[in-house]
Every structure is written in C-alpha cells, then in structure tokens.
C-alpha cells in the first residue's frame, strides 16, 4: 500500500466555500502522547518510532476501541526539528534491527512512513487507508477530518512525531558549508546572509511595533502566562523536565537570537509524538470519551511578493484565515470560548489573534490585550495550552488542549473563566497553515 | 564580513554574472512588466516563463526593515556577531526586497527609511554579491 500526500482538494483554502459539508460529522475520541526528551539518547527504546508507537497505543486505549476497528492512519512523514542525520555517519544497526524495517534504515529514526508504523503495530490489522498530511499535526488533522467526513476511513489515527539529534539547531549541513547554490543564496531562509529561523517573524514584529506604537517588553505577560499554562500540561517538556516559571524579568533579560526575537521567543526543539483518534460522530456516541466534534477546518496558503512577508501581507492573510474559519463553521468570533493558535515563534501569535478578531480585537490591539487578564481563570483566555512556548515544539499541544478542555479533561489547566464549548487551534505560520474548530456539540 | 561562496545555477546565473560585472539586474516578466526576486521559473502573475528577462536596476533603494543577528546558524558569519541584517526595497518597485548586512552602519543603529545604494562585495569563493550602503 503506497501512501501518498493528501491531494490539494482535501484542504479548504479559499473563502466562499460555505459551511463545511461535514460539519459536526467527525469527532475526536482519543488522545495519546509519548514522553518528551530534549534529544534522542541513541537507544532503540527511545527512537522517534518508539515514541510514535507509544502515542498511538495511548490514543487507542484512551478511546477504548479495539485496534482491529481502526481502518485509517494519517501522519506527517517528516519528523525533523531541524536536525538531519549527518551525511556519512553510520546508522546504528542494532537500533534498526530492533524494529521491523522498511527499505529505508532511517525510517523510524529520522523519518517516518505509514508502512513502518503498520509493520511495527501488528494490532492495526485492518488499516486500509493511509495518507500523509505533510507539515505538522495541523496538516494531518485536517486531512484526517476530511477523510473521515468523506467516508475514506471511519476510525482513523492521526500522528505527528519529532526527532531531535545532537548538535545545535540548523547549524549543520549547508549552514556549515563554504559555498551555497546561487538560487539558495537568493531565497528566503538562512541563505548566505545568516538569518536565524525566527528572523522573518522578528522583522514582522518590528514592523508591527513601529506601525502601532508597541514594544517587545509588552510580550512579557503573554510569555509568562504561556509558561504557566505549559507547566500545567503534564505531557509537556517544561513540566516534565524543567518545571521553572518564566518571570517577566527572565523574559526581558534573555539573550537575543535575532533582535527583536530573544531566546524565549523561540520554541525549544524536542523529541515527542502525539496521536489522536478520529471517528464519525455516529460511532463516537458510544465510545469511552466524550466526543469533541470538528465543525470546520480551514487552510492558509499565503504567498509573499518577495523575500519576506510584509506586515500588510501577513495581516491580509490572517484576516482571510479568520473569515474562512468562521464561514466554514457557521459561527462568528463571538462564539469562540477560547483560542489555541500557534505560537512557535511567540512573536507571531498576535497576528493569529487579530486575524480571528478574538474578543473583538483589531489589528494592533493584541499587545494591549496581553496586559489584561489572559489567564485560564479569566473570561478571555489566551493560549490555555501554553503552546510551544509553554511545552516545547510539538505543534500539537494546542490541539490536545482544545480536545481536553471541551471534554473536561484538562486537569489543572482547565479554563474556568468561560465555559469551554468552542475552541480553535492550528498553524503553524500566519502565512501558511491549517486550522481546526472544535466543539462540544455537532451543530 | 565574508559570506559563504556562491555557485550560480541555471536560474540565478544572470544575476550573479551581472553582480560580477558591477551591475544589479533583477528578473522581469516583460509581458506583465513585473519584477521577481527571488527569480522564478514562471511569472507569478501570467504563470508563463516565456517572457522572463533580466533587467538593469538603478541600484538605489530604501531600508524597509531590519533585525540584529546574535545567534547565526551560518558558521562563517558567527565571528561577526552581532550584525545587522536589513531588508532593502528597490526604488523601481517597493515590493521587491533584497537582504543587506549594511556595511558601515553601526549595529542596531539602522535608519529605517533611509536611502541606500548598491555596492558589490566578494564572497568566500570570489563571486560578487550585491550589498547596500546608506547614502550620505
């Protein structure tokens, strides 16, 4: 069974599509996570593949379904946090041979195929539908929701895994070479100009601050709140390994990476896997967990004119994304109980918020909003998951939180200032990502 | 600052050849009169690659935005940290951007909106690359 990328037709990328035809007919019924680690320790039992199996089995158990009932699997085959297997380095065959292998020895270590999962989870004996949603969990969720809605699969696992290896982020490979190809040198990204990953976002933030008269220190309450929420997320990296609060002073005194982006504005790369189980609303009724209904998904495919997106381009795209999210769900901004939009890099979360018009926000309002009560106890919670800033780079904490908040299973992180009935999550980038609207009821 | 060397490829070769000759040339679709940077295989407006050419620019521009790089992934530049990394827009079309380290401009003392002019610097393998200097 050859697994292919989801066709473009499965993503809802434009405005004017109306209410999603499968609104409320797909539900999340299971959640699973592996433990987190900063990097792979080189052992067979802690590979990215092992984490994947762990998370999938947790999601299955959480849903209380028999694995033989599962007929679909959607995942992102790209698992790198920015670390790639060093060219020429031997692949440890004891690790490779600890699992049933595909024809690629790095499968399960530094990349992941659906075939590898199925070879190593024999209990998934009835999976007939596999598909890739390449990019991150936000992509895979959208693909899986659409696939269940279309009847391609009825009970579908959704998986995102990350590997992280020794070495500093993005400093190997072409960054260490003496020369670069001409087109690469002219392209956005690292290039020969030495831009760190957060540079583009930092510049959009700088432009935002100049336009609206804001400053980087206004981010501090948001950053402290995100870490606080992250420390209440037992599945997350900071809660598991470094239960340290981030004070506003800590944040303001952090070293710069690409000023105005500092160390904490960049999410920490980790190893972790997350999995969900989706099924039809009809089947979900009788399952162990309270179903969380998907009432829309929407995608952003923004393009910039030249090297870096300008503030105008970003704001136009996020506003369009907000309209798509509400249109397909048949709701308005006033219906949102909470938001869990992406935050890794922290300096673009405000673009997502303003695009959503969250709590009536307009462009330029978000940093002032951060100075008010944005806690989980207040009526205007911002990023109750804590996001990547609060729990490390998984790009799925915000989805898990939406599901758990609506199910009433968010524990100490439970939103209390507003009843969590409808939440939105997604990302990653303001100029490109995939977004999901979750609801306690199908309509 | 010595940047990584550049090895021109098919798509970018005219740009790099022009830089070696001290000229700034940007790809243009003659049918749409639309500039492109980075260069593209097909015009983003008419979707055709048939009318793409390379057009001489005046070498004048404006500092649109900037950041200061303190933690650079590129090994060759790490000894120069921290350094400015600015985005320049061209006078011919303010939608077209180019990077610059702004040689001669103090770190984090960048006059956003100031006029700049192109100069050409040698990279590690001798290939010249456009850079920008504040005028006046």
Range of the domain at B51: 10-56
Contact indicator for A28, A144 with CB cutoff of 8 Å: no
List, for residues A218-253, the tens digit of each pLDDT value.
999 999 999 999 999 999 999 999 999 999 999 999
pLDDT for residue A172: 74
Per DSSP, the three-state class of A296 is strand
Contact indicator for A389, A16 with CB cutoff of 8 Å: no
* Percent of chain A with pLDDT strictly greater than 70: 100
CA distances from A436 to A63, A145, A296, A338, B22 (A): 20, 9, 6, 13, 51
Residue with tokens 């610059």: B100
Q: How near does any CA of chain A get to the CA of B69, in Å? A: 4
Nearest to A198 by CA among A255, A265, A139: A265
List, for residues A392-428, the tens digit of each pLDDT value.
999 999 999 999 999 999 999 999 999 999 999 999 9
Q: What is chain B's percent helix, strand, coil content, to nearest 5?
A: 10, 40, 50
Q: Report, as an integer, the average pLDDT of A340-368.
A: 98
Residues of B in contact with A308 (CB under 8 A): 65, 87, 97
CA torsion through residues A168, A169, A171, A173, sign: positive
CA torsion through residues A62, A66, A68, A72, sign: negative
* Percent of chain A with pLDDT strictly greater than 90: 93
| Cα separation, A263 vs A345, whole angstroms | 10
| Cα separation, A74 vs A147, whole angstroms | 9
pLDDT for residue A264: 98
| Cα separation, B24 vs B16, whole angstroms | 9
Count of pairs with CB atoms under 8 A, one residue in A, one in B: 137
Structure tokens at A391: 């729990």
List, for residues A173-185, the tens digit of each pLDDT value.
888 888 999 999 9
**Do B107 and B135 fall within a single domain?**
yes
pLDDT for residue A353: 98
- Strand-strand pairing, A292-301 and B52-56: unpaired
Per DSSP, the three-state class of A221 is helix
Q: Would you list the domain boundaries of chain A?
A: 17-167+270-284
Residues of A in contact with B70 (CB under 8 A): 255-259
* Interchain CB distance below 8 Å, A197 and B73: yes
Burial class, A44, CB count within 10 angstroms (exposed 0-12 / middle 13-18 / buried 19+): middle
Kindly state whether residue B99 falls inside one of the protein's structural domains.
Answer: yes
**Do B89 and B71 fall within a single domain?**
yes
Q: Report, as an integer, the average pLDDT of A137-145.
A: 98
| Cα separation, A437 vs B111, whole angstroms | 43
Rounded to 5°, the CA angle A432-A436-A442 comes to 160
Q: How near does any CA of chain A get to the CA of B96, in Å? A: 6
**Do B44 and B86 fall within a single domain?**
no
Choice between A310 and A168, residue whose per-residue pLDDT is larger: A310
pLDDT band for position A1 (cuts 50, 70, 90):
low
Mutate to test the interface with A, among B4, B5, B39 (most CBs of A within 10 A): B4
- The answer to whether ipTM exceeds 0.85 is yes
- What is the number of residues in chain B? 136
Burial class, A32, CB count within 10 angstroms (exposed 0-12 / middle 13-18 / buried 19+): buried
List, for residues A162-174, the tens digit of each pLDDT value.
999 987 777 778 8
| Cα separation, A289 vs A340, whole angstroms | 21
* Interchain CB distance below 8 Å, B3 and A192: yes
* Interchain CB distance below 8 Å, B9 and A182: yes
Query: Phi and psi for A208 in degrees, rounded to 5?
Result: -60, -45
**Do B95 and B65 fall within a single domain?**
yes
* Interchain CB distance below 8 Å, A181 and B123: no
Q: Does A123 have pLDDT greater than 90?
A: yes
**Do B126 and B86 fall within a single domain?**
yes
Kindly state whether residue B5 falls inside one of the protein's structural domains.
Answer: no
**Do B52 and B114 fall within a single domain?**
no
**Do B19 and B84 fall within a single domain?**
no
Indicate the average pLDDT of chain A: 96
Nearest CA in chain A to B3: A192
Mutate to test the interface with A, among B71, B90, B112 (most CBs of A within 10 A): B71
CA distances from A325 to A15, A176, A219, A435 (A): 9, 41, 26, 7
Kindly state whether residue B4 falls inside one of the protein's structural domains.
Answer: no
b (16+ CB within 10 A) / e for A427-443 = bbbbbbbbbbbbbbeee
| Cα separation, B86 vs B112, whole angstroms | 9
**Residue A245: count of CB within 10 angstroms of its CB:** 11
Least confident of A170-179, A367-376, B46-55: A170-179
* Interchain CB distance below 8 Å, B8 and A257: no
pLDDT for residue A44: 97
**Do B90 and B123 fall within a single domain?**
yes
Residue with tokens 């609801």: A439
**Do B71 and B125 fall within a single domain?**
yes
List, for residues A41-86, the tens digit of each pLDDT value.
999 999 999 999 999 999 999 999 999 999 999 999 999 998 888 8
Kindly state whether residue B90 falls inside one of the protein's structural domains.
Answer: yes
| Cα separation, A133 vs A28, whole angstroms | 17
Long-range contacts of range A95-104, CB-CB < 8 Å, 24 or more positions apart? A95/A42, A95/A43, A95/A44, A95/A47, A98/A44, A98/A45, A99/A44, A99/A47, A99/A49
Q: Where are the beta strands (DSSP E) in B19-114?
A: 25-29, 34-36, 52-56, 60-69, 83-90, 93-100
**Do B106 and B40 fall within a single domain?**
no
pLDDT for residue A166: 85
**Do B135 and B78 fall within a single domain?**
yes
Q: Does B136 have pLDDT greater than 80?
A: no
Kindly state whether residue B113 falls inside one of the protein's structural domains.
Answer: yes
**Do B95 and B49 fall within a single domain?**
no
Domain total in chain B: 2
Which of 3.30.1950.10, 3.40.47.10, 3.80.10.10, 3.30.428.10 would CATH assign to domain A17-167+270-284?
A: 3.40.47.10
* Interchain CB distance below 8 Å, A182 and B74: no
CATH number of the CATH domain containing B103: 2.40.50
């Amino acid at each position: 069974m050859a697994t292919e990328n989801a066709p473009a037709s499965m993503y809802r990328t434009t405005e004017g599509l109306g209410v999603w035809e499968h609104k409320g007919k797909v539900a999340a019924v299971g959640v699973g996570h592996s433990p987190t680690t900063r990097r792979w320790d080189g052992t067979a039992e802690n590979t990215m593949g092992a984490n994947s199996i762990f998370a999938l089995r947790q999601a299955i158990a959480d849903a209380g379904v028999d694995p033989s009932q599962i007929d679909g699997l959607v995942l992102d085959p790209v698992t790198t946090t920015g670390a790639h297997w060093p060219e020429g380095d031997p692949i440890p065959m004891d690790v490779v041979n600890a699992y049933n292998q595909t024809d690629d020895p790095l499968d399960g270590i530094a990349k992941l195929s659906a075939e590898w999962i199925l070879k190593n989870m024999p209990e998934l004996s009835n999976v007939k539908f596999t598909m890739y949603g390449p990019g991150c969990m936000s992509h895979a969720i959208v693909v899986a929701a659409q696939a269940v809605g279309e009847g391609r699969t009825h009970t579908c696992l959704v998986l995102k895994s990350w590997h992280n290896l020794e070495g500093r982020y993005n400093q190997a490979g072409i960054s260490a070479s003496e020369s670069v190809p001409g087109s690469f040198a002219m392209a956005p990204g690292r290039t020969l100009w030495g831009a760190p990953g957060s540079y583009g976002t930092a510049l959009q933030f700088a432009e935002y601050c100049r336009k609206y008269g804001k400053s980087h220190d206004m981010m501090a309450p948001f950053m402290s709140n995100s870490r606080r929420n992250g420390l209440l997320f037992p599945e997350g990296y900071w809660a598991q390994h470094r239960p340290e609060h981030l004070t506003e002073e800590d944040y303001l005194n952090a070293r710069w990476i690409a000023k105005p982006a500092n160390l904490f504005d960049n999410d920490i790369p980790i190893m972790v896997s997350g999995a969900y189980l989706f099924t039809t609303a009809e089947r979900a009724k009788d399952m162990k967990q309270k179903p969380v209904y998907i009432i829309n998904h929407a995608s952003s495919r923004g393009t910039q004119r030249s090297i870096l997106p300008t503030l105008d381009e970003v704001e136009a795209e996020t506003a369009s994304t907000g309209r798509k999210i509400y249109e397909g769900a048949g709701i308005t901004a006033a219906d949102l109980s909470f938001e869990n939009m992406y935050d890794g890099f922290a300096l673009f979360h405000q673009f997502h918020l303003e695009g959503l018009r969250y709590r009536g926000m307009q462009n330029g309002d978000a940093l002032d909003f951060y100075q008010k009560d944005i806690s989980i106890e207040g009526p205007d919670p911002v990023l109750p998951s804590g996001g990547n800033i609060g729990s490390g780079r998984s790009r799925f904490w915000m989805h898990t939180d939406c599901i758990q908040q609506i199910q009433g299973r968010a524990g100490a992180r439970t939103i209390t200032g507003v009843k969590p009935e409808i939440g939105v999550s997604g990302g990653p980038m303001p100029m490109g990502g995939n977004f999901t609207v979750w609801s306690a009821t199908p309509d | 600052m010595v940047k990584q060397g550049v090895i021109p490829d098919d798509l970018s070769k005219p740009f790099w050849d022009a830089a070696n000759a001290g000229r700034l040339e940007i790809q243009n679709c003659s049918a749409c009169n639309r500039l492109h940077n980075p260069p593209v295989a097909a015009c983003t407006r008419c979707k055709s690659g048939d009318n793409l050419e390379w057009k001489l620019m005046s070498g004048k521009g404006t500092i649109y935005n900037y950041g200061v790089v303190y933690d650079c992934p590129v090994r060759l530049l790490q000894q120069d940290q921290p350094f400015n990394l600015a985005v320049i827009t061209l006078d011919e079309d303010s939608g077209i951007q180019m990077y610059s380290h702004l040689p001669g401009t103090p770190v984090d003392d960048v006059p956003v909106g100031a006029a700049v002019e192109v100069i050409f610097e040698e990279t590690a393998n001798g290939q010249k690359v456009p850079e920008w200097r504040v005028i006046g």
